[in-house]
Amino acid sequence: MRLTLHTDYALRVLVHVGLRNGDLVTITEIADCYEISKNHLTKVVHQLGRIGYLETVRGKYGGVRLLKNPEDVALGKFIREVEEDFALVRCMRCNVVEDCRLNNNRCVARDALEAGLAAFFKVLDTYTLADMLESERKAAQ
């Protein structure tokens, strides 16, 4: 399984903003820090504001800041909200058994992939943004 750049950037934004302890951070500052496209980052920040992770302040002295407590941001839940598609195979995307290329009533491979995906998120849900921030702070020392 592979997460999109959009999700990667969304995690970077949360970490960068979370490390600023409530101070406003500009999109330009984040883009420069990670050497990523400001235009792409603008879309990411817009989504994070829309789904309630960031407060966005417009204007000359504007920027973004974290709206949620880092301890309340489970990585698995966050990734489920940001990432668009977790279908590992075609039949998981449309959720129609008849679409199975193996013409099986119930495919063992599909069951295994669904169980693996559930296990993946179960582990991710044990980690929070606070864990990531703590790790970043330790690395900076």
What pLDDT, on a 0 to 100 scale, did the predictor assign at position 10?
A: 97
For the chain, give the mean pLDDT: 88
Over the stretch 98-121, which tens digit does the pLDDT of each residue have? Answer: 556 665 556 777 788 889 989 999
What pLDDT, on a 0 to 100 scale, did the predictor assign at position 90?
A: 67
Over the stretch 13-37, which tens digit does the pLDDT of each residue have? Answer: 999 999 998 899 999 999 999 999 9
Cite the beta strand spans of the chain per DSSP E.
54-57, 63-66
> In what helix (H) or strand (E) does residue 139 lie, and over which residues does it extend?
helix 129-140
What pLDDT, on a 0 to 100 scale, did the predictor assign at position 110?
A: 76
With H, G, I as helix, E, B as strand and everything else as coil, classify residue 66: strand
Provide the pLDDT confidence category of residue 61 given band limits of 50, 70 and 90.
confident
What pLDDT, on a 0 to 100 scale, did the predictor assign at position 114?
A: 85
What pLDDT, on a 0 to 100 scale, did the predictor assign at position 105?
A: 59
Q: What percent of the chain has pLDDT over 70?
A: 86
Q: What percent of the chain has pLDDT over 90?
A: 67
What pLDDT, on a 0 to 100 scale, did the predictor assign at position 92?
A: 66
Rounded to an integer, what distance in angstroms lies between the CA atom of residue 131 and that of residue 123? 13
5-140: CATH class:
mainly alpha
Task: Render 83-116 in DSSP notation, one character per residue.
Answer: -----SSHHHHHT-GGG-TT--SS-HHHHHHHHH
Query: Whole-prediction pTM value?
Result: 0.84
